[in-house]
Structure 1
Amino acid sequence: MTKLFTPIEFNNVQLKNRIVMSPMCMYSCMEQDGKITPFHMTHYVSRAIGQAGLVMTEATAVVPEGRISHEDLGIWEDGHIDGLKRLNEQIHSYGAKTGIQLAHAGRKARLNSDIYAPSALPFNESSKTPTEMTTADIDNTIDAFKDGAKRAREAGFDIIEIHGAHGYLINQFLSPLTNKRVDEYGGSAENRYRFLSQVIEVVQTEWDGPLFVRISTDEYADGGNTLDDILYFAGQMKQQGIDLIDCSSGGVVPASIKPYPGYQVKRCETIKQETSIATGAVGLITTGIQAEEILQNDRADLVLIGRSLLRNPYWPKAAADELDETLPAPKQYERGWK
């Protein structure tokens, strides 16, 4: 059997294959209440029917001011649990596991309200200047991640991913480009990691399942985190019991990026080999052959598929056909599956 369609287990949760629907914002909570809508049900459940092994929801805000936009999903109150629970039940009924990405946008929030960041630096000239977080703000935000993890457990998710990439709040703390603090949360790599470390610690008090973290492995800017910094963070995460690092890149500051197929995989491979932690590869992975190459050569343990799964909810079937692999059909679709 190809590695792409070989099961894999993380902390007693088994995925039936290595295909993950990557978290992608849908901007579809039109009531601006952060709650699941019929669109979300259709969108995510269809990828489970399409046989992805893990379906990950979009960045889900732990506080209202942590949304990227007013239309984002939320998990900042108990009223969000029921909708997420119904979503999980439907996804599970098709044999997929579910993941939630707990997130806070920090200075990249595009909201009418005040926004917050480690330092009072706007993302670009057209962005709002954030309020620099006090230690009380930091403590409250860490508690919000804890509460989000508790609600994720109650909603029936199998996996939590902490969003530490793409220039959002945790990434802002990690990067010297966006973190100019002079207290215990700024300066050295150890201090810049402190916020993420404390988020991991509190999430683990409410969550004993698989725990992933997405990070930006390259900031594409002078003065940003070096590969040595990224390897240090990865080593710390391994010590804290993180099960997998989801290796993306960019988003910390405006940058010109010229992506090509698999452009983020090399750093993903380096993190896996240098720190012996499981990794997920993401970024312009479009074919079954490409995904299989990444896995067969031990460059990553999972492949996260984004735009290709937007174009085709049945991308796993297309990949299976390409690799001459038999993929079981949902019974409703057996007539058209072969």
Structure 2
Amino acid sequence: MDTKLFSPFTIKNTTFKNRIVMSPMCMYSCPNEDGKVENWHRTHYTSRAVGQVGLIIIEATAVTPQGRISPNDLGIWSDEHIEGLKELTNLMKEYGSATGIQLAHAGRKAVLEGEIIAPSALAFNEQMKTPKDMSVEDIQDTIDAFKQGAVRAKKAGFDVIEIHGAHGYLINEFLSPLSNKRTDQYGGSAENRYLFQREIINAVKSVWDGPLFVRISANDYHEEGLKVDDYVLMAGWMKEQGVDLIDCSSGAVVPARIHTYPGYQVPFAEKIKKAADLSTGAVGLITSPLHAEEILQNNRADLIFIGRELLRDPYWPRTAAKELGVKIEPPKQYERGWV
């Protein structure tokens, strides 16, 4: 059968061989706390490339040491990180996968020794420390850190950059009125709360001409928080800035009960895609190949982001191809056992 899941998708100068994307998932696997690539990363990501994933986006990678979620996160705050990341991109590309990196800053959700920062001095919950509210100088330094992260990502050979604007981390904290209580140019109106993300996108684009994604949390799951319609407006701004695709997740800017089920976030991707006329990625407990195909066939999203199912099955593309009746080429070394 003709499937969209196994059709190529091109953005700018990069073509993904299929629409399957490995969603960025933190591995917390830098035991020396230096943010450098370890054997685990080489094994973990390369195995999904062997499994024929079209685009692999590596985990949230911190643009500053203070921006790590945990002490064991990958980093891109130093030129010393480039060598290991370059090795990683070479390994993934050897097996035909396009490569992406998620540039991130944890903001008030950093679990680290020492000071953490956020738009406002509000803790995420009672168990987490209260952050320092950022000065304008702090903001400008962080914007530059994202820019320098993009420079290093280019040197490391990544095809795609995704800016992490979701899950209650720093950019998301600026966007949401639940976590941003500032009274200067970075707070108040929707336009002001978006300014930090706007300036990060502009800074990244000044040094990066490849595909640019932004991950969003399209619903705060709080009556006073952001909803998908707010992100339709921001998607228009992102499109004007030259963002190529919005990766539509949700939640985690404040503690919330979220009713999850297969595809529970797909309506966010569909609405933003159609209302803003911008490519989107769908994510959220998508495990069935038929479900993934339905999303694409009905033009609800352009790419399918797979997270936990790819942890369970590194060869999920093979599983999907068999179920959908599609033949995909395995690595030559696996030909005898692929059918």
Q: What interval of TM-score do these two structures reach, taking the shorter chain for normalisation?
A: over 0.9
- 2:183 matched residue in structure 1: 182
Aligned to 1:35: 36
1:161-210 alpha-carbon deviations (Å, 9 max, x no partner):
00000000000000000000000000100001000000000001110000
Residue matched to 1:326: 327
Secondary structure class of the residue paired with 2:216: strand
3-state secondary structure, aligned to 1:87: helix
Q: Which residue of 1 aligns with 2:203?
A: 202
Q: Whole-Å Cα distance in 2 between the matches of residues 108 and 332 of structure 1? A: 43
For 1:248, the equivalent position in structure 2 comes to 249
Question: Which residue of structure 2 aligns with residue 274 of structure 1?
Answer: 275
**Structure 1 partner of 2:264:** 263
Deviations 1:148-169 (A, max 9, x none): 0000000000000000000000
Q: Would you say 1:306 and 2:307 are equivalent positions?
A: yes
SS at match of 1:123: coil
Deviation of 1:271 (Å): 0.3
How far residue 287 of structure 1 moved from its aligned partner, in angstroms, is 1.1
1:305 offset after TM fit, Å? 0.2
What is the total number of aligned residue pairs between the two structures?
A: 338
Deviations 1:210-252 (A, max 9, x none): 0000000011011101332111111100000100000000010
Partner of 2:119: 118
Alignment partner, residue 297 of structure 2:
296
State how far apart, in whole Å, the 2-side matches of 1:82 and 1:227 are. 39
- Residue type of the alignment partner of 2:179: T
Q: Which amino acid aligns with 2:281?
A: G
SS at match of 1:5: coil
Residue identity in the other structure for 1:201: N
Question: Gapped runs of 5+ residues in structure 2?
Answer: none
Partner of 2:128: 127
Percent identity over the alignment? 64
Partner of 2:218: 217
Secondary structure of 1:102's aligned partner: strand
Equivalent residue of 2:90, what SS? helix
For 1:76, the aligned partner's letter is W
Hey, what does 2:84 align to over in structure 1? 83
Specify the alignment match of 2:141 in structure 1.
140
Separation in 2, partners of 1:295, 1:164? 24
Aligned to 1:57: 58
Residue deviations 1:294-320 (CA, integer Å, cap 9, x gap): 000000000000000000000000011
Aligned partner of residue 5 in structure 2, secondary structure: helix
Could you list the runs of 4 or more consecutive aligned residues of structure 1 that deviate by over 6 angstroms after TM superposition?
A: none
Amino acid at match of 2:132: T
Letter in 1 for 2:193: R
2:237 maps to: 236
* Counterpart residue type for residue 283 of structure 1: G
Please list, as runs of the form range in 1=range in 2, the aligned pairs for 1:156-167 lying within 5 A after superposition: 156-167=157-168
Q: Cα deviations across residues 247-276 of structure 1 (Å, max 9, x unaligned)? A: 000010000112000000011100000000
Matched residue SS, 2:304: strand
SS where residue 319 of structure 1 aligns?
helix
What does residue 318 of structure 2 align with? Answer: 317
The CA distance in 1 between the partners of 2:33 and 2:73, in whole Å, is 7
Paired with 1:83 and 1:90, the residues of 2 have a C-alpha distance of: 11
| Partner residue, 1:72 | 73
Cα distance in structure 1, aligned partners of 2:209 and 2:248: 22
Following superposition, the deviation at residue 286 of structure 1 comes to 0.1
Deviations 1:40-72 (A, max 9, x none): 000000000000000110000000000000000
Measure, in 2, the Cα distance between the counterparts of 1:113 and 1:145. Answer: 21
Q: Which residue of 2 aligns with 1:154?
A: 155
Counterpart of 1:227? Answer: 228
Shift of 1:113: 1.8
SS of residue in 1 equivalent to 2:88: helix
Q: Within 2, Cα distance between the matches of 1:97 and 1:280?
A: 16
Task: Please give the root-mean-square deviation of Cα atoms over the aligned residues, in Å.
Answer: 0.5
The alignment partner of 1:304 has SS state of strand
1:77 CA displacement: 0.3
Matches of 1:156 and 1:267, distance apart in 2: 31
Give 3-state SS (helix, strand or coil) of 2:318's partner: helix
The TM-score normalised by the length of structure 2 is: 0.99
Aligned-residue offset at 1:327: 1.1
Give the Cα separation in 2 of the matches to 1:87 and 1:58: 12
